[in-house]
Amino acid sequence: MERIDRIILAAIKEDMPKGDITTDNIFSRKDQIEGKFIAKEKGVISGIEIAERVFSFFPNVSIVWNKKDGDIVNPTDIIGKISGSARSILKGERLALNIMQRMSGIATKTNNLVNLVSHTHCQILDTRKTTPNFRILEKMAVEHGGGRNHRFSLSDMVMIKDNHIKAAGGISEAVAKVKKKVKNSRIEVEVENLAMLQEALKEDIDIIMLDNMSIDEMKKAVELTKDKLLEASGNINEETIKEIAETGVDFVSVGALTHSYKSLDISLKF
């Protein structure tokens, strides 16, 4: 929560570096208001915990939530009720809504994809294609939508991609160099074709990423792979994900979860 608090405090400073000259000059410290968070469209709600944390930095605010993170909401649903200091609520409302709308958009997009592959064993993963410094919130939203987090950062696990392979001189060379220095870490290797897959299958690694392969290539890859997990990646969307999951891969990673979502429309009405 300390990392999230730093994000919130930086956002508050950005939004009102010298206070709120409108609110502070209309309302006194004693003025009270009440409001409702209302869903304007159907989706998966996310960011409730963070919105509450936003208002914890403003005095004399009380919130009662009717929903929790991960719940489905429909148009006109009352997500929660807020009451207390007019100054505090008006200062925090836009930041709280910005976070909830964006996190709910990610959760909704994730949930749509999860539902499309629910008849398979395939799981939906996010990527590192996130907004700088907001990754923790965006990956939290993916989980609220039913997806799973891939590595949070470059420090979490070894992931040998195309540029690593080219620079090292091949898959076996890259894996050998890593294994000399890295212990107790999962290793994932990206391959672009079946020839590279065959090379990767000879190595003591955990996961193989099938990057931008055709459906037929992925099916063949599943047939060839017995003791390693397979992850499909590359330009995956609502139109293609079902067929990809049905090839038998274990995971599908989708960068669009956190870079091409639509914010969910949520309002705060007094």
Angle at 88 between CA 86 and CA 90, to 5 degrees: 65
In angstroms, the CA 186 to CA 231 distance is 14
**pLDDT for residue 1:** 84
pLDDT averaged over the chain?
97
Tell me which of 3, 42, 161, 186 is the catalytic residue.
Answer: 161
Number of H helices, E strands in the chain: 11, 12
Question: Domains of the chain (ranges plus CATH)?
Answer: 2-114+262-269 (3.90.1170.20), 120-259 (3.20.20.70)
Checking if the pLDDT of 232 tops 90, the result is yes
Torsion of CA 146, 1, 187, 164, to 10 degrees: 110
In angstroms, the CA 182 to CA 164 distance is 15
34 is catalytic: no
Indicate the SS3 state at residue 129: coil
129 is catalytic: yes
Indicate the SS3 state at residue 101: helix
Averaged over 232-261, what is the pLDDT? 96
Per residue in 166-176, pLDDT tens? 999 999 999 99
For the chain, the distance separating the N- and C-terminal CA atoms, rounded to the nearest angstrom, is 29
In angstroms, the CA 207 to CA 81 distance is 46
Tell me which of 53, 67, 129, 151 is the catalytic residue.
Answer: 129
87 is catalytic: no
What's the predicted TM-score (pTM) here? 0.95
161 is catalytic: yes
